[in-house]
Structures are given as C-alpha cells and as structure tokens.
Structure 1
Amino acid sequence: MTPTILMLNGPNLNLLGTRQPEVYGRTTLDDIVADCTRLAGTLGLRLDARQSNHEGVLVDWVQQAREGAAGIVINPGGLSHTSVVLLDALNAFDGPVVEVHLSQIHRREAFRHHSYVSLRADGVIAGLGAEGYAAALRHLAARLA
C-alpha cells in the first residue's frame, strides 16, 4: 500500500503568490501542491494536500491523520507562534512530522522566532521557499523506506 503524506497549510497560505511576494515568493499554493503531488508519486508516496485559515479545522485534520497518514508536512503559518492546540494534536500523531516555512523565520520579527509546532516536529525547514516542501517530502520518503 502506498504511504499517504498529509500536507497541511495554515492561515493565509491560500494567498501565496500575491501576498507579500518579496517575503514568500510568487509561487502559488496550487503550484506547490502540483509540484509536490508529482514528486510524491516519484517517491512512492501519495500526497493529501489541504489548506485552511481555521485552527480547529487543522486540528481536526491532524487528528484524522492518526488513522491513515504515514507522515505530515505542515506549514502552520502564523499558528506556529500561537497554537498550543495544534501542538497537542500533533503530539497525538505517531508518525514523523516535518514543519516547513517558506521564509527564514529567524531573520524576521522576534515573535516569529518561536514555534510551538517545532516542539513536536522531527525536522524544521525554513527559508528555502517552495523547495522546502520538496525537501520535506524527500526526507519523509527516506525515513519511511
């Protein structure tokens, strides 16, 4: 059976390509999902990509992942810095988790330097732009092999 990777994107990531392109780039979330879906196939993975602007929806999806996902790639956006409930949900997931940030969060405002999600993540990728997602998928494929 092909392992499923749940790729979650949090608030405002639906605006990629148009929101602060000088920070986040011009690549859209649809472009990232299409590229990652192709890559996942070549890596022997199935990608289930989702985005929500609502914290509770993301928590629900992480909880559902306990029943069918082999790993999670998550870009929680601004929830990285505020969401203890997202951390709690991820702590209940047994598979590997990779946190992705398009920008280099440690070069930005001080409040962005701390991520609750990082406390659970097996790896954190920041500052590689859209390539961070591909790096996360490659890591999970190797880890699950």
Structure 2
Amino acid sequence: MKIAIVHGPNLNMLGKRDVNHYGMMTLDDINCHIQNTFPKVDFEFFQSNHEGAIIDFLQETACDAIVINAGAYTHTSIAIRDCLETIKLIKVEVHLSNIYEREAFRKINYIKDVVNQTFFGKKEQSYMDAVTYILEKMSNF
C-alpha cells in the first residue's frame, strides 16, 4: 500500500512557526515520525507552497490513498477542492491546530466535504490518526 502525504504552504516552516498551534516538530521530523510509526507502509511525501503544484501532484499520484494538510489553501482554494472531489481514493484531511478554535477566516473549510475524514488539533498526532484511519478502511475492502 502506498499513501501520499501532501503538505501545503508554509508547512516547510514548521519548527519556526508558533509552537502553540503547530508543535515543535519540523516537517522532516513529522515525515520521519510517520514513516517510523508505520514502517510497512510505502509513503510518498510532497510539500509545496504553490497551489498548482499541489493540484498537479494530486492529479498524477499513483498512490492508494491521500493524507492532505492543505494549510492555508484549506480556507481559500476552490481549485484544490475541485481536484480532490474528482479523485476516487480515500482522502483524509489533517491540520496540526484546531482550525475551528482559531481566527474566523480559518473556520472556512472548502475541502471538508470532499474528503472521507478530517483530523485536527492534535499536532503531529493528527497525521498518525489519519494514517490509522486509512489502514483500517483499506483492510475492510
């Protein structure tokens, strides 16, 4: 099984951002933590600050499932939403912080209705919960 882990804009700056919202781990730390927690799963990690690059990656992925932290694009990108809507894989949205307890503009979520599940507010554990969810769903097929 191969799972794509897609990180959106500014997630490459983890470790330098507000630790109260995003935790202390860097993006590399999170990717390593995911891989080490699930050593039997093949992961493809991707990060971009560019909306079109994220869409291109999603459209071209040869993975069995997707975990996406669209970052700020969650609140602004109808294009990423439309792309996710066309993909017929298990898709899970994650956020390190609880976007629903933050600024009003972060409560707008354009992708929540085109993914199978959302995990948020548990920092890196949100990713672990997402992968666990996918593994449980895939074992039921």
TM-score, normalization by structure 1: 0.92
In the alignment, structure 1 residue 45 sits paired with structure 2 residue 41: yes
Distance 1:39 1:124 in 2: 20
CA contact (8 A) 1:40 1:47 kept: no
Gaps of at least 5 residues in structure 1 are none
Count matched residues: 139
Distance 1:35 1:26 in 2: 13
1:61 corresponds, among 52, 57, 61, to: 57
1:8 corresponds, among 6, 9, 13, to: 6
The aligned residue for residue 122 of structure 1 is 116
Q: Secondary structure at the match of 2:34?
A: helix
The aligned residue for residue 128 of structure 2 is 134
CA shift, 1:84, in A, is 0.6
In the alignment, structure 1 residue 83 sits paired with structure 2 residue 77: yes
1:108 corresponds, among 87, 90, 102, to: 102
Amino acid at match of 1:80: T
CA shift, 1:25, in A, is 1.2
Distance 1:45 1:95 in 2: 16
Distance 1:22 1:118 in 2: 23
For each residue in 1:84-122, what CA deviation from the matched residue of structure 2 results, as whole angstroms up to 9, or x when unmatched? 110111111111111000001111011111211112111
TM-score, normalization by structure 2: 0.95
Q: Secondary structure at the match of 1:90?
A: helix
User: Deviating runs (4+, > 6 A) in structure 1?
Assistant: none
CA shift, 1:51, in A, is 0.5
The aligned residue for residue 72 of structure 1 is 66
For each residue in 1:39-95, what CA deviation from the matched residue of structure 2 results, as whole angstroms up to 9, or x when unmatched? 232xx4211011100000000011012xx2111000000000010110111111111
Distance 1:28 1:4 in 2: 23
